[in-house]
Structure 1
Amino acid sequence: MIWRLKEKAKDILSNETGTIFKEASLRVALVYPNTYEIGTSNLGFQLIYRILNSITNISAERVYLPDSEDIKLYELGEDLFSLESQRQIGEFDVIAFSIPFEGDYINVLKILELSKIPFRSLDRGEDYPLVIAGGMATLLNPEPLAPFIDAFIIGEGEYITREVFEIVARREPKCKTLERLSEVQGVYIPSFFKPIYNQDGTFAGHLPSLRVQKRFVDDLHLHPAGSTILTKNTTFSDMYLIEVSRGCGGACRFCAEGFVYRYPRHRDKDSIIAEIKKAKEMGRRVGLISPMLLDHPDLKEIIAEAKKEGIQASLSSLRADALDEDMLETIRMSGQKTLTIAPEAGSDFLRRSVNKHFTNEDITRSAELSYKFGITNLKLYFMVGLPGETDEDVKAIGELGKAIRGVFPRGKVTIGVNPLVPKPWTPFQWAPFPKLKDVERKYQIIKDEVKGASGIKLSLSSPRLFYIQALLSRGSRRVSRFLELALEEKGSYTKALRKWESNPDFYTYRERRADETFPWDFIDHGISKRFLRKEYDKSFEGRKTPECVVPICKLCGVC
C-alpha cells in the first residue's frame, strides 16, 4: 500500500512549481491540518515554509491531512510521511502545525495518530519530535489544544520563527529546550501553567499567573509577500497570491482579524509590484489578498502595473462604501468578473451595531454600478444571531437580496448566510452563540422572503458546525477532552458531545459576565479589554467607533 501513497506524492510534486528540496541538520515537518488542496492555497502556510527553508541549518517539508481515500490506507498501519522526501513524521526533529481555523483542531490529533505519536505532550518523551503550533486560531485562544502542544508561537512568524528554531537547534533535553523557549517573547509553554476554575465552572486564571506578549511585524515590506509554491491542484488553481496588507482598521465588532492584527499595515507599492513581476515570470494570474484592500493608497497603480505586465489581477472581498466608478473601472481593467461584498446584516441599524456604516442604499448602488462595469457574479455575505437582532432584521436580508437583484438583472447573485460565532479578542466575545433552533428559524425567514425570486442563490451554512466552532473558539483547556472523544468517534462531534462529561452549552449559549476572566486573557495583544467591553455595549445602540487611523487613533490601546 505504501508504494501507492508515495507514487501519489511524487505525482503531486511533479505538478508543483517552487517546491524546496533541501537536506539540513534540523528537520522540520511543517503541517497544515487539512488536505493538500486547502493547505497549499493558504498563503500564510507558504510564507512560513519559505522562511523556515531560508534558515541554513533547517530543512522544512510539508505534511497535510490525507484525503478520505488515502486516510483509509494509513489507518491500515502505514505511518504518515512528508511530501518532499516521503520521510515518516516521527523521524523529524520538530512537528510545526500552522492552524488558521478551529475546525481543524481535530485534524491535529488525527495527524498525530496517523504518525503514531502520543496526543498529550506529557506522554511524549525525548524520543518524540517537539510539537509546536501557531496560526490565527491559536493566536486567539490556544487553550483547547494546550495538552497536546509543547510550545505555541503567539504572533506573526517573520522574526519569532528564527528565534525559536535557533534554540531548538541546540538539541538540548526537551525540558531545557522548553525552558529556553519560555523566555522568548511570544512563546507559550502550556505545560508550565495549570488552569484553575471557579466553583461555577468559569475560568479563574493560570498558576502561576502569566502574560504572553504577541509578536508583531512592523516592516512587512522586508519580508516575502507572495506564493512560494504554485500548482493547478489547489482552491485558487495556479494563481500567484500576494499579501497586500495585514490587519484592518475597520473596527467591525465581530472580526477577530481586525483586532489581533492591529495596527493595520500596508506593504509598499514597490514590493508588491516586484511580486507581480515574479508572477509574470511564471506566467500566472495574481490574487491580491487583504482584509482592507480598497484602503491601500496605491491600489490603482498596482492594478495598472499588473495590466501593463499582462497579468490578470483578482481582488479579495471589497467594501461597498468604497466602490465608486474609478475603482470599478480599475477592477474592470484587472479582468475580474466576480465581486464579493459583506454587508453582514440586512438592516442599516444592525449593520451599524457591528460598526459597518454603509447603508442598503450604498450596497444597492454598488451592485448597480458593478453590473454596469461588467461584473457578472455578485456574492453577498450575511450573519444571523447578531446581538440585538430582530426578525425584521433577518427578513431584511432577503429584501436586500431582492433589491440587489432588481439592479443586477443578469448573472448570478449569491447570498451566503451563517450564524455569528463570537470570537475571542472581539467586542462580541461576551455574546452568546445563537440557539440552533433559532438559527434554523431565521434561515426559514430568509428562504420565505426570496422564494420565487429568480437569479438568487441561497447558501446557508450548517448551524451545527458553527456551534462546534463556537465551542472550540471560546473553550477552556477542559475542551481538549471533547476533541479526544471526537477522534475516538471517528470525527462524529454529535457522538462526542453525548459522551463528554461537560455541558457544551456552557461555552456556547452562555452570555459572559462583564467582569468574567477568559481562558485567553493571558495573551497581550495590546488591546484594552475595557475598550472591547465598551464596544460591546455600544453595539446595542448602533453607535459608531471611528476607523483605526495610525498613528492618530489612541482608543484601543495598541498605539
Structure 2
Amino acid sequence: MEEKRILPLKPFNSNCIKFILAFPDYYEYGLPNLAIQVLYRKLYKIRDVLPDRYYLYTDDSKEKDKILEYKIPLKEADIVGFSIPYEGVILNFIKILDICGIPYKASQRQENDPIIVCGGPVVNCNPLPIAPFGDIFILGEGEELIKDLVNLYKNHKKNGYFNKKNFLNCVSQLRGCYVPAVHGFHGYGLIKQTKPIDINQFPSHSIFISKNTIYGEETFSIELRRGCNQRCRFCYMGTRLRPARTLKESTFKDLVDIGLRYSRIIKLFYEGLDPEYVEQCLEYIRGKGGKVRIGSQRLDKLSERIIKIIGEAGQRKLTVAPETTERLRGVIGKQKIRNKDILKIVEISSNCGIPDFGLYFIIGLPFETIRDIDEIADFIMEVREKMNSLGNINGYLEIGLNMLYPKPWTPFQYACTILPNEAEGRLQYLISKLSKGGYKVVVSTDVVDEKVERKKESVYKNLIKIETTIGTL
C-alpha cells in the first residue's frame, strides 16, 4: 500500500508493547480517520511502545489476520484499540475479532489474549450494547488518557508476568474508563468522561497520506474545530462533545505549512464555524499554493465565497444536510434551513464549476409520516431538475440516506428506532417514486463517494445515486 508517512516506521522490537489501532472498515475508508492517526502519533512518542494499524481486509486476503506494517497476527498484540465512529461498523468490530482468532467475548479471553480497548463516538454515547466484547471503554477523548493506560500496562507486565484482573482493576480507577469486568453491565453508576483536551496542544491532522482512499488523491487533513455549538436534537456532537474548540490561527497555519510538504491538497473538518473565519483559512491555504477541500456543510454557515474557492480548487462535490422535510426540521432544531436556500446553493455550486451535489437525509425521525417521504422524494427531484436546468446533467446528485439511531444524552435519546424492515420499506418507496419520475437511480451500500478525480462524463445522465446502509443490517 503506497503511503507517505510523516513519522518513520519504528524498528520492530518484540520486547516493546505492541499497541495496535484498529479501524473496523477497509483501508480506503479507515485511513482518513483522524482519531487513529492522532493516537498513533501519541503512542509513537512513548518509549518501549510499538504502534501499528489494522484495517479490515477483503475475505479472500491471505493476510486478513495481520497488522498493516509489521505483518504479525493481530492476536499477538498486547493491546488492540478500536475506534468505533458510527453504528454501522459495530458488526465489523466483532468480525475482526473473529477472523483474527481473538475470542470475541471478553469473558472468554485468556491472559495471553490482547486487551481490547474501544473508543469513539458510539462508545462515548453508550458503551453498554457492546460491553461484552471489550475489556476497556474510553468515555471521552483519549489523547491524554492513552499514555496513562500504557504506563499502567507497563507496570503490570514486569518480568514477563501479567495479571489481567489486577490491571483492569487499576484501569477502572482512571477517569473516563468503563471496565465491564469491574463496573458490571447494568447500572454501573457515574463514570465521568475524560476532560476535554486543548486541541492546540494535541492538534488532529494526518500523519499517513495515500491516494488509495475514498478521496482518490493524496490529502492532508486538519481538524479545524472539534465539537459543535448548534445542538441539533438528534446529534451527539453538540451535546456530548463539548465545548466546541477551534484551532488558533498560528496553530492552523503551522499545520498547513507541514501538510504542504507532503500534499498539495488540504482538507478541513469543522462544524458550525462562522464563514468569515473559514474563508480566511481557505485563503491562507490557497495563498500558500495549496488546494482546499471541505466536507459536508451546514447551510447557514456556508458562503458564496467558500463555494467559489473550493470550486476554483477543483473540488468535485459540495454536500449539505437538509436531514428531512421543512416540517420536521422544526422538530430536530434546523428550522432555519429552507428548501429554497438549498436550491440557491445548488445554483451557486454549479455556476462555480462544482459538478456534483450531495444531500444527507435521515429517515425514521419522530413524527415522520409517509407524507415526509413523499416530500423528500419531491425535493430530491427538484434539486436534480435544478442541476439539469443549469446545464449540469452529467453531474451526480448523491443522496446519503440512513435511519435514525437515537443517541443517549440528546433530546431524542428515548425516541424509538424504526425496525430494519420498516426502514427498507421506506427506502424502496422513495426509490420507486424517484424512478417513476423518470430518473436513473443507482443504490450503493458503500459510503458516500468522495473521489475527486473521475471522468466528468458519466455512463448515466440525470443520475440520482443513493448511498445507504439500510438493507445491510
TM-score by length of 2: 0.85
Return the offset for 1:421. 2.3
From the superposition, tell whether residues 402 and 33 of structure 1 become closer, same or farther in structure 2 (CA, over 3 Å). Answer: closer
1:464-503 aligned at under 5 Å gives the runs: 464-465=471-472, 468=473
From the superposition, tell whether residues 371 and 228 of structure 1 become closer, same or farther in structure 2 (CA, over 3 Å). Answer: same
1:196-275 aligned at under 5 Å gives the runs: 205-206=186-187, 209-237=188-216, 238-275=218-255
Return the offset for 1:29. 2.0
Tell me if the contact between 1:218 and 1:265 (Cα under 8 Å) persists in the aligned partners: no
- Cα distance in 1 between the residues matched to 2:351 and 2:381: 18
Return the offset for 1:60. 0.7
Deviation per CA, 1:35-91: give whole Å up to 9, x if none.
222221211111111111111231111122222221xx468xxxx332222223333
**In the alignment, is residue 61 of structure 1 matched against residue 52 of structure 2?**
yes
- Cα distance in 2 between the residues matched to 1:95 and 1:60: 10
| Counterpart secondary structure, 2:215 | coil
**In the alignment, is residue 21 of structure 1 matched against residue 28 of structure 2?**
no
| Counterpart secondary structure, 1:286 | strand
Gaps of 5+ in 1: 1-11, 196-204, 469-559
User: What is the match of residue 285 of structure 2?
Assistant: 306
Deviation per CA, 1:505-553: give whole Å up to 9, x if none.
xxxxxxxxxxxxxxxxxxxxxxxxxxxxxxxxxxxxxxxxxxxxxxxxx
Tell me if the contact between 2:271 and 2:298 (Cα under 8 Å) persists in the aligned partners: no
1:281-360 aligned at under 5 Å gives the runs: 281-292=261-272, 294-295=273-274, 298-346=277-325, 348-356=326-334, 357-360=336-339
User: What is the match of residue 419 of structure 1?
Assistant: 403
- Cα distance in 2 between the residues matched to 1:445 and 1:127: 51
What code does the residue aligned with 2:317 have?
Answer: T
- Cα distance in 2 between the residues matched to 1:114 and 1:440: 29
More helix by share: 1
1:85-484 aligned at under 5 Å gives the runs: 85-172=70-157, 173-195=163-185, 205-206=186-187, 209-237=188-216, 238-292=218-272, 294-295=273-274, 298-346=277-325, 348-356=326-334, 357-408=336-387, 409=389, 410=392, 411-436=395-420, 438-447=422-431, 449-450=433-434, 451-453=437-439, 455-459=462-466, 461-465=468-472, 468=473
What code does the residue aligned with 2:82 have?
Answer: F
Moved beyond 6 Å, runs of 4+: none
Q: Among all aligned residue pairs of Structure 1 and Structure 2, give the percentage whose two residues are the same amino acid.
A: 30
Return the offset for 1:444. 4.8
What code does the residue aligned with 1:459 have?
Answer: I
Tell me if the contact between 2:363 and 2:404 (Cα under 8 Å) persists in the aligned partners: yes
Tell me if the contact between 2:424 and 2:471 (Cα under 8 Å) persists in the aligned partners: no
Return the offset for 1:448. 5.0
Larger RCO, structure (CA 8 Å, separation 6 or more): 1
| Counterpart secondary structure, 1:184 | coil
| Counterpart secondary structure, 2:60 | helix
User: What is the match of residue 442 of structure 2?
Assistant: none
- Cα distance in 2 between the residues matched to 1:94 and 1:337: 40
From the superposition, tell whether residues 300 and 221 of structure 1 become closer, same or farther in structure 2 (CA, over 3 Å). Answer: same
From the superposition, tell whether residues 146 and 381 of structure 1 become closer, same or farther in structure 2 (CA, over 3 Å). Answer: same
Deviation per CA, 1:187-235: give whole Å up to 9, x if none.
111011334xxxxxxxxx42xx421111133411111321011122222
Gaps of 5+ in 2: 158-162, 440-460
- Cα distance in 1 between the residues matched to 2:67 and 2:423: 41
Tell me if the contact between 1:247 and 1:265 (Cα under 8 Å) persists in the aligned partners: yes
What code does the residue aligned with 2:239 have?
Answer: F
| Counterpart secondary structure, 2:200 | helix
33-42 or 21-30: bigger deviation: 21-30
User: What is the match of residue 449 of structure 2?
Assistant: none
Return the offset for 1:295. 3.0
What code does the residue aligned with 1:423 have?
Answer: K
User: What is the match of residue 526 of structure 1?
Assistant: none
- Cα distance in 2 between the residues matched to 1:185 and 1:88: 31
Return the offset for 1:406. 4.1
From the superposition, tell whether residues 111 and 327 of structure 1 become closer, same or farther in structure 2 (CA, over 3 Å). Answer: closer
Deviation per CA, 1:149-185: give whole Å up to 9, x if none.
2211111111111111111111242222112111110
- Cα distance in 2 between the residues matched to 1:146 and 1:416: 29
- Cα distance in 2 between the residues matched to 1:118 and 1:441: 36
Tell me if the contact between 1:248 and 1:291 (Cα under 8 Å) persists in the aligned partners: yes
Tell me if the contact between 2:206 and 2:222 (Cα under 8 Å) persists in the aligned partners: yes
Deviation per CA, 1:98-139: give whole Å up to 9, x if none.
222333333333333333333332333322332222122211
Deviation per CA, 1:268-320: give whole Å up to 9, x if none.
2222222211121113311111233x436521111111111111110111122
TM-score by length of 1: 0.72
From the superposition, tell whether residues 117 and 396 of structure 1 become closer, same or farther in structure 2 (CA, over 3 Å). Answer: closer
Return the offset for 1:354. 0.9
- Cα distance in 2 between the residues matched to 1:169 and 1:373: 55
- Cα distance in 1 between the residues matched to 2:59 and 2:86: 19
- Cα distance in 1 between the residues matched to 2:221 and 2:155: 35
From the superposition, tell whether residues 180 and 50 of structure 1 become closer, same or farther in structure 2 (CA, over 3 Å). Answer: same
Tell me if the contact between 1:417 and 1:459 (Cα under 8 Å) persists in the aligned partners: yes
| Counterpart secondary structure, 2:371 | helix
Deviation per CA, 1:450-509: give whole Å up to 9, x if none.
4125725041625333xx4xxxxxxxxxxxxxxxxxxxxxxxxxxxxxxxxxxxxxxxxx
From the superposition, tell whether residues 193 and 457 of structure 1 become closer, same or farther in structure 2 (CA, over 3 Å). Answer: same
Tell me if the contact between 2:312 and 2:352 (Cα under 8 Å) persists in the aligned partners: no
Return the offset for 1:333. 4.5
What code does the residue aligned with 1:244 have?
Answer: L
- Cα distance in 1 between the residues matched to 2:276 and 2:409: 28
- Cα distance in 1 between the residues matched to 2:367 and 2:130: 32
| Counterpart secondary structure, 2:155 | coil
Tell me if the contact between 2:361 and 2:402 (Cα under 8 Å) persists in the aligned partners: yes
Alignment coverage as a number of residue pairs: 435
Q: CA RMSD in A?
A: 2.4
- Cα distance in 1 between the residues matched to 2:303 and 2:183: 52
- Cα distance in 2 between the residues matched to 1:109 and 1:462: 18
From the superposition, tell whether residues 398 and 89 of structure 1 become closer, same or farther in structure 2 (CA, over 3 Å). Answer: closer
- Cα distance in 2 between the residues matched to 1:165 and 1:90: 18
